Structure 1
């Protein structure tokens, strides 16, 4: 019950006297007075003095009590907000630095993987060329192909890591795969090295034989007709093409593909000027549709020696060289005897 409600009940002076002389009533009265005093103290005017310089020039600002406390609360709120913002900004900056460091690490790892992948592909290409060269040499010297214990590619499929996305959680798996891949590649390289050493020893024992074995392109140009069955450009019917047609410009030099003796140098049957060279091991090579012949029958030639030039003679559809390789009189694919 409030003080005003109690006052309405004091109908007589005696009642009012009893109330104000009662101790409990005095306590309420003092409490009300204290609240009023505190309220008056808080709502009184405040003055803020701002000194402009050291000569005593100042300025006074008068603030109402409630406005003063409201200003203090606003300042405190701003300070607290700044503290929170600075804290969040510090955490955000730290996260950005950590993210930048992680991205840099990922880029470095990616670059290393790409470089390693390129090196691996280069090694694979070199091994492939070695295998092809090895196979051609074995065919040239009639050496049987030996079985290989190492497959052309390690188990596990395509190992081209540059075409795959490598998440961070797969780094350990990738390391294991790379280790296995390099191990298999090392085994292949070791095996190829052993095979090449065997071939080198064999070559040293058969230098004369190898020098008389066709091994180079007879001229510069492009293949216009391959060895094997084809449609004749003259009859339109299928026929077996016994050699290799190499188209090029008129007058391009033609070279002997191996050391040997010229067995024929003259006009061929429908092939224009032709040169035939006998080599060791029952191998012969012939060069047709020449523009001119630079050797004579019985002449000894060496590999790479010019024997004529490309022409458009005989039955021809344009300047080209018809090149044949025969073993014991049987036409074989000249590509087996081209290593360069």
Structure 2
């Protein structure tokens, strides 16, 4: 049985032969090494082919992940902007409540509080957020829930403010805040010397003089409750404005409204005249609060 192999190596153009002697015992190791090398090469070739086949899917998945991350970041920015808007709205509502003299909500009424367990722990150390992205999503979900709660609270506050302002609007609309006619005030509210008797008497309104037929307007919203002659006032109108306020207009020449008719501020209700006990064309204008005469000038804003 042979003990070794001899391999002759004859280089081109050389004048001598090189001998390579390989012991017989080395041949199995060489064969095993060759088979292992071929197998390893085949495995890596298979892995390379698998990666090449999966590469389009991996690239598509990477692009999808990048798009999702961009969407999450954009949603986070919008959520932050929405939170800022909610905080601004809350501050604005609080200012309105102060201006309207309503009870100011407590400082802890807002839903934007802090506290509670750690973001990545629930119960007995159970991990629910294994990545920064998951913790970020959990934080945004909490913020969204808080803002839903806060928006509902602010909606209720705004409804309360709207009701309050609507009530105040009704009061303002019913307040006789403008002159019923333009002219010259010839007699004010309070005690005066009567032009008819020469005695000191109480004048329950103001007298405004102008040309005969000058239009008289309603100084506030209301309902006509009287139209007709009333003693020394001659032709007179009375308007109930609600909230205990009634205005009266004496010495008219003509009426432009009827009893029961609703009138708006600035609407023509009659014409200046000289009816009744009068020394010349003028309007006797009264404001009564719960039946008590008050100075009409206290209400006039223009």
TM-score (norm 2): 0.45
Identify the structure with the greater strand proportion. 2
Q: Which has the larger radius of gyration?
A: 1
Larger proportion of helix: 1
TM-score of the superposed pair, with normalisation by structure 1: 0.40
